[in-house]
Amino acid sequence: MAGIVSYLAPDPRVAGLFTTLNTLGKNLSPLLAAPLVDRFPRKRSVLLLFWSAAVVVWAVLTAYLWLPAAANRSVSIWVFGLCYTLFFVALGAVGVAQGALLGKIIPAGVRGRAMAMGMGISGGINVVAILLIYHVIRGGHFPEPRNYALAFTVTVSFFVLAGVSLLFVDEKPSATPTRRFNLLGNLRYFARLARENPNLGRLMAVNVAVGVLANMLQFYTLYWRQAGTMTEGALILATVFQVLWQSVSSSILGRVADRRGNRVIICSLLWVEALVPLAALILGGWEPFRGHWGWYVGVYALVGVRFPLYQLLVNYLLEIVPQHDHAMALGAVNAAQLLTAPAPLLFGGLARAWGYPAAFIAGSAVGIYGAVTALRLEEVRVKSI
């Protein structure tokens, strides 16, 4: 994703606009999706509905990238922007439905191990798939943007398999709420959940900080491209490092979270998250690191190490909120992240006006705020597993 954005939009302000569209789409849709998920007695059914919409959008974009017209960047950027926005609209709804389903079918004490198993399997498959694509691209038969078309084709294939796997989920129907469906009422309910549950309120603040930093990956790639040391092959290898480390990190930290609680791992990973922009600044801009692309791969490794943070934040929410409020609490967290929508535009403006170091330092400051706020979260586990 970061590679195609940097190919179509080398200007950091345009990249920031794409990220803002991503944030708006991903966090606006849960406002409507959360009460809809709430009303489905089987969360698997509504998850399949949203997931199918996301897959169809990405399949359309993939088909377009195979066409000769995709080489026209001035047109492709609009096609990509539309599909990119719609995909994340669907993905925001998927996140709510997936979280609600996890809260029903996986007990709190083993969610970390379930995550570890899932990431271990998917990580191995992803590394093999990416290396295969790298081998094909090295032959020179898939120049940009055909290389992205090839990668997205593999991605869509696995998306379809993921949807099919949901058909085998065994879920008992749950009771549906009687509250009315309206946007203003939903917002009031979100506010009441945060007011009555201090841990949820703090978690929303932490998620805002994490949401800001999560949108910086494409700026790391743009910075690398600007330095002149990035190649298509190097970007793929960096992606391999990222996927490999997120698989290893998830496999280990998911199990540790089951034994020690989610809070301690969340606090640790937040400090890693806060240091990633500074690592990008040093490894991409300081001598002797910027002389070879191999140093910058370390940035993507750190991005992979901190990957379990997103799942652990969801796991923590599912523990501090009663099951009947899971969907609405997930909607509340996503609604709060709408505050992050202007951040990519601001980072893009900072990078354009004062250079990427200014944007990276600002991002690191936001990450430190999130890490400090997380220290006030309470560990709700009553016993070790």
Q: What is the DSSP string of 8-34?
A: H--SHHHHHHHHHHHHHHHHHHHHHHH
Distances (CA, A) of 61 to 20, 174, 192, 203, 309: 19, 36, 40, 34, 29
328 part of a folded domain? yes
Q: Does position 381 have pLDDT exceeding 70, yes or no? A: no
| pLDDT band of 139, cuts 50, 70, 90 | low
pLDDT tens by residue, 193-222: 888 999 999 999 999 999 888 878 778 888
Taking the C-alpha atoms of residue 244 and residue 301, their distance in angstroms, rounded to an integer, is 8
Mean pLDDT of the 269-295 span: 84
Considering only CA atoms, which of 137, 166, 163 is closest in space to residue 149?
Answer: 137
326 part of a folded domain? yes
Alpha-helix residue ranges (DSSP H) falling in the chain:
2-8, 12-39, 43-65, 73-105, 111-138, 146-166, 183-196, 198-214, 217-227, 232-260, 262-285, 293-305, 308-320, 326-336, 343-354, 356-374
3-state secondary structure 223-241: HHHHHCCCCHHHHHHHHHH
Taking the C-alpha atoms of residue 171 and residue 44, their distance in angstroms, rounded to an integer, is 7
Answer whether 0.95 is exceeded by the pTM.
no
pLDDT of residue 295: 81
173 part of a folded domain? no
23 part of a folded domain? yes
Query: Dihedral (C-alpha) 249, 253, 255, 259: value to the nearest 10 degrees?
Result: 170
- CATH classification of the domain holding 230: 1.20.1250.20
| pLDDT band of 160, cuts 50, 70, 90 | very high
Q: Does position 372 have pLDDT exceeding 90, yes or no? A: yes
Q: Does position 274 have pLDDT exceeding 90, yes or no? A: yes
Mean pLDDT of the 366-375 span: 94
Mean pLDDT of the 145-163 span: 86
Q: Could you tell me what percent of the chain has a pLDDT over 70?
A: 89
pLDDT of residue 175: 73
pLDDT tens by residue, 297-329: 888 889 989 888 888 998 899 889 988 888 888
| pLDDT band of 384, cuts 50, 70, 90 | very low
104 part of a folded domain? yes
381 part of a folded domain? no
344 part of a folded domain? yes
Q: Within a 13 Å sphere around the CA of 306, how many CA atoms are in the beta-carbon half?
A: 22
Q: Does position 9 have pLDDT exceeding 70, yes or no? A: no
Mean pLDDT of the 242-253 span: 86
Q: How many domains does one find in the chain? A: 1
Pick from 22-31, 145-154, 301-310, 374-383 the range whose average pLDDT is largest: 301-310
Specify the higher pLDDT residue, 73 or 44: 44
Mean pLDDT of the 257-284 span: 90
| pLDDT band of 72, cuts 50, 70, 90 | confident
Mean pLDDT of the 376-385 span: 68
Which range (74-83, 135-144, 271-280, 296-305) has the least confidence? Answer: 135-144
* Residue in this structure with the two tokens 């007695």, named with its chain if needed: 41
Specify the higher pLDDT residue, 117 or 320: 320
pLDDT of residue 177: 66
Domain that holds residue 335: 2-166+181-374
343 part of a folded domain? yes
Q: State whether the Cα torsion 363-364-367-368 is positive or negative.
A: negative
Q: Does position 180 have pLDDT exceeding 70, yes or no? A: no
CB distance 81 to 20 below 8 Å: no
Specify the higher pLDDT residue, 218 or 252: 252
Taking the C-alpha atoms of residue 50 and residue 58, their distance in angstroms, rounded to an integer, is 13
**Residue 288: cis peptide before it, omega within 30 degrees of 0:** yes
Average pLDDT, the chain: 83
Which range (89-93, 147-151, 278-282) has the least confidence? Answer: 147-151
pLDDT of residue 291: 67
Specify the higher pLDDT residue, 343 or 8: 343
pLDDT of residue 371: 95
Q: Does position 174 have pLDDT exceeding 90, yes or no? A: no
pLDDT tens by residue, 75-87: 888 888 888 889 9
Pick from 115-129, 167-181, 263-277, 283-297 the range whose average pLDDT is largest: 263-277
Q: Does position 253 have pLDDT exceeding 80, yes or no? A: yes
Q: Does position 331 have pLDDT exceeding 70, yes or no? A: yes
Q: Does position 385 have pLDDT exceeding 60, yes or no? A: no
